[in-house]
Amino acid sequence: MDAELPNALAALLERHGCAAHWISLEITENGLLDDPDHAIRNLERLHALGCKLAIDDFGTGYSSLSYLRRLPVQKIKIDKSFVVGMVRDDGDAAIVRSTIDLAHGMGLGVVAEGVEDQATFERLRSLGCDVAQGYWLSQPLTAAQIPVFVQGLPKVRYA
């Protein structure tokens, strides 16, 4: 909601020689709802800088699809409250499946938060979820730990 955020971020990117497309900013639904017109203007400015934008905790707020349609975001993140139970609860599974379908239909990517086991990971994969995030994949890492983690990942060949 800070009108100076886009300018401050642009200055930080310039000072540190960081490309804006390396940055993904996550916006909560509730943050959008306080003053939607102001939020949209700020998001458009951040998008114009080249930053990636994602709606975090999607489905937990009171968002309107009319606002989602207007936002310059590239991804939505499905809240873990739906993801953790989706293997055992048909209602949660339906919400996750529908959210993935809706997002893809709008040309948006989908991140599922709260992946705690392989069964959930495999179910998300079968539903076409783009990215999984959670403790089953990794605990949160510091910047210094990331290179070591990545080097330890299995080598994958793509056809």
Greater confidence, 23 or 155?
23
- pLDDT at position 65, please? 72
Residue range 109-132: mean pLDDT, rounded: 95
Q: What are phi and psi of 31, to 5 degrees?
A: -65, -30
Query: In the predicted model, is pLDDT for residue 60 greater than 70?
Result: no
CA–CA dist 72, 79 (Å, integer): 20
Dihedral, CA of residue 148, residue 151, residue 153 and residue 159, to nearest 10:
150
- The whole-chain average pLDDT of the chain stands at 87
Q: Among the listed ranges 45-54, 62-71, 91-100, which one has the minimum average pLDDT value?
A: 62-71
CA–CA dist 28, 76 (Å, integer): 10
Q: Write out the two tokens for 140.
A: 């949160």
CA–CA dist 97, 88 (Å, integer): 14
| pTM for this predicted structure | 0.71
| DSSP type of residue 151 | H
Residue range 123-150: mean pLDDT, rounded: 93
Query: In the predicted model, is pLDDT for residue 20 greater than 60?
Result: yes
Q: Please, what are the domains in the chain? A: 5-151 (3.20.20.450)
Residue (of 123, 102, 124, 126) closest to 112 by Cα position: 124
Residue range 45-57: mean pLDDT, rounded: 89
Q: Which of 14-18, 25-29, 52-56 has the highest mean pLDDT?
A: 14-18
- pLDDT at position 159, please? 47
